[in-house]
């Protein structure tokens, strides 16, 4: 029972896994004030507006996105209708509800609480994006939608307590396509006396699967990547002691909606689900976050690219406006987390026109080089740009593709002859293929949705290279 409460490669086959070795980007998350106020129980759709966490994985000051991105949570297809005395809206699945141990009527709960609201989940159980696994999330500043799975419909139906029962559907709809959204679950699992029970979720959206990023020992992704389940033999309401909490990524680009079938499983350790004079169920939380590929350049900087040359990397950027700017500090990293200044470029100070800047890194490090700009003002304040990366090797023969991420065109250059270039989806579907591709030509990605793709390059000598490409 829960209380209320661009890249260069040598002649070998290299496969880039979707989330390996990527710099930790800003995240969009649920935060205080970005969702509904008040208590339930409610069956009304719950609309959450994502906030930008520029310092991810550290939680800083959340800021609104330039163009609002929302997630709308909707309950449908209820399988059990509760009596008016149990829940006036009749829902076995509700938003913002909780147990009432002293009466039949469902108790109210906060519709949009902090993620530490229930179940005693721990910070390391969560990962805000697929590239900062096990770094945790603040459970006091990240918020979630509160949901309640009542067992009273099963009690009314005199259902066996050792079965699994389909309860309703939960659909999450995004107003813009999201790439690899991360679902956070807090505290699926509850009990009534000796009886333990838990809500489980089955993803039914065609073509999508899930992967566990982090979680308590009870959390598991099963069913070939389609189910989020609590594996505890005797579920309880406390994470780590019978309730499941954690983060899973939905593997897919341009995701606009997710539909889950919600089921309730009982462990059969008592003969009935509840008593006539109480209202019992499983209170749990659900939230969503993702990499921020939407607002990525600070005000004034309109573009930033990193392009490999034969033995150097050319960094170029433009500003549309500058006010009291002093200089640009160019920083480089090999892990996307630890940064070193490699040079400075003086800024114009004040300008209302388009200005172009460049810096050449003449000693790039072997492997992946990450670059970012720190724009420093006269008063010492600063802001960082988006991160660009170049995979550099000191081999004489190699292949370059840039920029990555890209918005529309991807340029491919090579010191060796190319046989073909192919662009595919994550599941291997070929979107375009060009035979006899010449060094310096570009692929046009503008007609494809934002998201992750694979670039497959075959050389005339029979070698194959595969790399992850992101369009944003």
Quick check: 208 pLDDT over 60? yes
Closest CA to 461 of 425, 417, 423: 417
Look at 14-23, 53-62, 263-272, 442-451 and tell me which has the smallest mean pLDDT.
14-23
Quick check: 7 pLDDT over 60? no
Q: Which CATH architecture has domain 296-386?
A: Sandwich (2.60)
How do residues 69-87 score in pLDDT, each as one tens digit? 999 999 999 999 999 999 9
Residue 439 pLDDT: 80
Residue 51 binned pLDDT confidence (cut-offs 50, 70, 90): very high
Which CATH fold topology does 6-19+403-472 show?
A: Immunoglobulin-like (2.60.40)
How do residues 282-307 score in pLDDT, each as one tens digit? 999 999 999 876 654 455 677 888 88
Pair of tokens at residue 220: 């598991």
Diameter of the chain measured on Cα atoms: 78
Q: Domain ranges for the chain, please list them.
A: 6-19+403-472, 27-291, 296-386
CB proximity list for 389: less than 8 A, separation 6 or greater:
6, 22, 23, 306, 336, 368, 369, 370, 371, 404
Establish how many alpha carbons lie within 13 A of residue 467's alpha carbon, considering only the half-sphere containing its beta carbon: 26
Give the pTM. 0.63
Return d(Cα 43, Cα 65) in angstroms, integer.
Answer: 28
User: What is the mean pLDDT of the segment spanning 406-433?
Assistant: 81
Residue 62 pLDDT: 87
In angstroms, the first-to-last Cα distance of the chain is 44
How do residues 122-169 score in pLDDT, each as one tens digit? 999 999 988 777 678 899 999 999 999 999 999 999 999 999 999 999
Residue 292 pLDDT: 79
Same fold flag, 6-19+403-472 and 296-386: yes
């Amino acid at each position: 029972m829960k209380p209320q409460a661009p890249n260069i490669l040598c002649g070998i086959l290299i496969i880039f896994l979707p989330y390996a070795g990527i710099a930790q980007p800003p995240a969009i998350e649920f935060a205080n004030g970005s969702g509904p106020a008040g208590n339930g129980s409610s069956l009304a759709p719950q609309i959450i507006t994502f906030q930008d966490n520029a310092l991810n994985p550290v939680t800083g000051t959340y800021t609104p996105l330039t163009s609002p991105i929302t997630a709308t949570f909707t309950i449908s297809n209820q399988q059990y209708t509760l009596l008016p005395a149990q829940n006036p809206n009749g829902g076995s699945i509700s938003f913002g509800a909780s147990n009432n141990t002293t009466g039949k009527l469902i108790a109210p709960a906060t519709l949009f609480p902090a993620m530490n609201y229930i179940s005693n989940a721990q910070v390391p159980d969560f990962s805000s994006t697929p590239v900062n696994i096990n770094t945790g999330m603040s459970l006091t500043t990240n918020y979630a939608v509160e949901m309640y799975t009542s067992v009273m419909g099963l009690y009314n139906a005199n259902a066996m307590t050792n079965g699994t029962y389909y309860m309703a559907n939960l659909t999450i709809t995004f107003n813009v396509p999201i790439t690899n959204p991360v679902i956070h679950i807090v505290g699926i699992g509850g009990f009534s006396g000796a009886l333990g029970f838990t809500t489980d979720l089955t993803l039914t959206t065609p073509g999508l699967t899930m992967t566990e990023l982090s979680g308590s020992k009870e959390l598991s992704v099963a069913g070939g990547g389609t189910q989020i389940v609590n594996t505890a033999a005797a579920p309880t309401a406390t994470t780590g002691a019978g309730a499941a909490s954690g983060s899973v990524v939905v593997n897919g680009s341009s995701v606009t909606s997710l539909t889950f079938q919600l089921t309730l499983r009982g462990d059969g350790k008592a003969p009935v689900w509840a008593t006539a004079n109480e209202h019992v169920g499983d209170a749990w939380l659900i939230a969503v976050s993702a990499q921020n590929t939407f607002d990525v350049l600070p005000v004034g900087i309109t573009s930033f690219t990193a392009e490999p040359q034969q033995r150097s990397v050319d960094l170029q950027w433009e500003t549309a406006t500058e006010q009291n700017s002093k200089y640009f500090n160019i920083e480089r990293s090999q892990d996307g987390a630890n940064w070193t200044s490699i040079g400075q470029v003086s800024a114009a100070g004040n300008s209302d026109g388009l200005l172009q800047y460049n810096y050449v890194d003449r000693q790039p490090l072997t492997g992946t080089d990450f670059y970012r700009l720190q724009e420093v003002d006269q008063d010492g304040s600063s802001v960082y740009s988006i991160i660009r990366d170049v995979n550099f090797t000191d081999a004489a023969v190699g292949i370059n593709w840039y920029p990555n991420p890209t918005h529309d065109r991807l340029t491919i250059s090579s010191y060796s002859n190319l046989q073909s270039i192919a662009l595919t989806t994550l599941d291997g579907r070929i979107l375009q293929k060009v035979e006899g591709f010449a060094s310096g030509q570009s692929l046009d990605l503008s007609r494809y949705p934002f998201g992750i793709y694979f670039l497959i390059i075959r050389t005339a000598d029979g070698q194959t290279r595969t790399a992850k490409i992101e369009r944003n």
